[in-house]
């Protein structure tokens, strides 16, 4: 048994379970909430705007996997190397890969690394990335998901000598409202509130709550409009979300694109064109509109939802390949999303 597990207090030690190294663990997911609170039974961490990454190390083999099990090693070779050189223990850990724009994490900057499948190409892209680790689920022959979060984080903090690109996601105890105000002042996306004694559950849970400073979520691309004036590619994306089996329209987003993305995304959209609308509530095609197969997922920031269910002041952030289109639903406070 690893010495860090031997140091657990007896009550927590009862919760470790002998287990062979897992090939996969479903990640725990947070629930959006409109409540802001402080509580001594909760810890509060920074919410990162990046790509979720589960790290599996067994012997000399390191696997970096997204939340939908896509391999990330080739996109982030420096992180794989850092994990391989960080000690001999077998483990499974949870974290987020990020890039920065100043002091804020930037999903837009990370885009140039997310889509890369060639290690040498990834090394040539001048966008430094970092892996913030925030949870530990397995260590040297033992499943520790039933151990309380505070104890799991104590082990995680001591497991490595954290040097870039590996970073430990620090937390603060109890003062959730203060943490939230500070996060919004600094321009962060928000914070995550976590029940300090909670287990690691392989599903979405109210034991992890998202306090968001800005409204931002994933949407499915269901079409596009033709460009106007001197603009190339397309004018705007027609976006929506699923409600059961129905894809509902959330309006369109026409800002946040650079010329390179306009050209590349336009080619991809052209290959997905279809004759009928994928939206259940938008059957008629408007002037200059094109329908596409609802396969692509994008991240969009916005100020609010209108009373008719359309986004106000939307801005394109980037494409996502770590979430299936069918998983995209409208985020609502205090409801699973």
Write down which residue in 165, 193, 212 finishes a domain.
Answer: 212
Query: Does residue 11 sit within a domain?
Result: no
Question: In terms of domains, do 156 and 231 share one?
Answer: no
* Confidence band for 189, pLDDT divided at 50, 70 and 90: confident
Sequence-distant (≥ 6) Cβ neighbours of residue 112 within 8 angstroms: 125, 127
CA nearest 223: which of 159, 270, 161? 270
Pair 49, 227: CB distance under 8 Å: no
- Active-site residue, from 47, 194, 212, 252: 47
Write down which residue in 212, 228, 252 finishes a domain.
Answer: 212
Question: In terms of domains, do 245 and 178 share one?
Answer: no
> CA-CA distance, 57 to 264, in Å (whole number)?
35
Query: Does residue 245 sit within a domain?
Result: yes
Question: In terms of domains, do 113 and 252 share one?
Answer: no
Question: For residue 171, what is the domain's CATH number?
Answer: 3.30.470.30
What is the mean pLDDT of the segment spanning 212-223? 93
The reported pLDDT for the residue numbered 52 is: 97
Query: Does residue 265 sit within a domain?
Result: yes
* Confidence band for 22, pLDDT divided at 50, 70 and 90: very high
Q: Is the pLDDT score of 173 beyond 70? A: yes
Question: In terms of domains, do 108 and 119 share one?
Answer: yes
Query: Does residue 18 sit within a domain?
Result: no
> CA-CA distance, 26 to 285, in Å (whole number)?
39
* Confidence band for 206, pLDDT divided at 50, 70 and 90: very high
The reported pLDDT for the residue numbered 282 is: 92
Question: In terms of domains, do 45 and 108 share one?
Answer: yes
Q: Is the pLDDT score of 185 beyond 70? A: yes
Tens of pLDDT along 98-148?
999 988 899 989 999 998 999 999 999 999 999 999 999 999 999 999 999
* Confidence band for 333, pLDDT divided at 50, 70 and 90: low
Min mean pLDDT across 137-146, 300-309, 328-337 is at: 328-337
- In the chain, the percentage of residues whose pLDDT exceeds 90 is 82
Query: Which parts of 31-104 fold into alpha helices (H)?
Result: 77-84
Question: In terms of domains, do 200 and 75 share one?
Answer: yes
Query: Does residue 335 sit within a domain?
Result: no
Write down which residue in 212, 232, 256 finishes a domain.
Answer: 212
Question: In terms of domains, do 89 and 120 share one?
Answer: yes
What is the mean pLDDT of the segment spanning 178-183? 95
What is the mean pLDDT of the segment spanning 218-232? 92
Query: Does residue 1 sit within a domain?
Result: no
Min mean pLDDT across 221-225, 233-237, 250-254, 328-332 is at: 328-332
Question: In terms of domains, do 266 and 138 share one?
Answer: no
> CA-CA distance, 98 to 72, in Å (whole number)?
13
The reported pLDDT for the residue numbered 337 is: 35
Question: In terms of domains, do 204 and 226 share one?
Answer: no
Question: In terms of domains, do 139 and 238 share one?
Answer: no
**Better-scored residue on pLDDT, 60 or 66:** 66
Domain range for 230 is 215-327
Known catalytic residue at 47: yes
Query: Does residue 250 sit within a domain?
Result: yes
Question: For residue 222, what is the domain's CATH number?
Answer: 2.40.50.140
What is the mean pLDDT of the segment spanning 211-229? 92
The number of domains in the chain is 2
Question: In terms of domains, do 155 and 68 share one?
Answer: yes
Query: Does residue 93 sit within a domain?
Result: yes
Question: In terms of domains, do 239 and 175 share one?
Answer: no
> CA-CA distance, 66 to 46, in Å (whole number)?
19
């Amino acid at each position: 048994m690893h010495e860090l597990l031997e140091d657990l207090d007896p009550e927590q030690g009862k919760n470790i379970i002998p287990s062979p190294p897992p090939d996969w663990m479903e990640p725990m997911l947070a629930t959006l909430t409109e409540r802001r609170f402080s509580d001594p039974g909760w810890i509060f961490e920074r919410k990162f705007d990046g790509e979720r990454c589960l790290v599996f190390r067994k012997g000399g083999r390191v696997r970096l996997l997204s939340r939908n099990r896509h391999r990330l090693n080739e996109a982030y070779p420096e992180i794989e190397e850092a994990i391989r050189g960080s000690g001999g223990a077998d483990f499974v850990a949870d974290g987020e890969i990020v890039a920065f724009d100043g002091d804020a994490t930037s999903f837009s900057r990370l885009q140039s690394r997310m889509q890369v499948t060639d290690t040498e190409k990834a090394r040539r892209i001048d966008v430094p990335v970092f892996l913030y680790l925030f949870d530990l689920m397995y260590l040297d022959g033992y499943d520790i998901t039933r151990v309380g979060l505070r104890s799991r984080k104590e082990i995680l903090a001591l497991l490595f000598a954290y040097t870039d690109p590996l970073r430990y996601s620090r937390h603060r105890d109890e003062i959730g409202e203060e943490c939230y105000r500070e996060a919004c002042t600094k321009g962060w996306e928000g914070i995550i509130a976590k029940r300090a004694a909670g287990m690691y559950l392989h599903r979405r849970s109210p034991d992890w709550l998202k306090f968001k400073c800005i409204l931002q979520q994933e949407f499915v691309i269901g079409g596009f409009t033709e460009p106007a004036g001197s603009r190339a590619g397309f004018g705007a994306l027609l976006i929506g979300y699923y409600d059961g089996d129905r894809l509902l329209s959330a309006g369109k987003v026409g800002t946040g694109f650079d010329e390179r993305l306009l050209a590349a995304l336009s080619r991809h959209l052209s290959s997905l064109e279809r004759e009928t609308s994928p939206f259940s509530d938008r059957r008629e095609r408007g002037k200059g509109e094109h329908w596409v197969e609802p396969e692509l997922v994008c991240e969009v920031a916005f100020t609010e939802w209108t009373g008719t269910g359309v986004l106000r002041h939307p801005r394109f952030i980037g494409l996502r390949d770590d979430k299936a289109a069918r998983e995209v639903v409208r985020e609502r406070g205090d409801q699973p999303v």
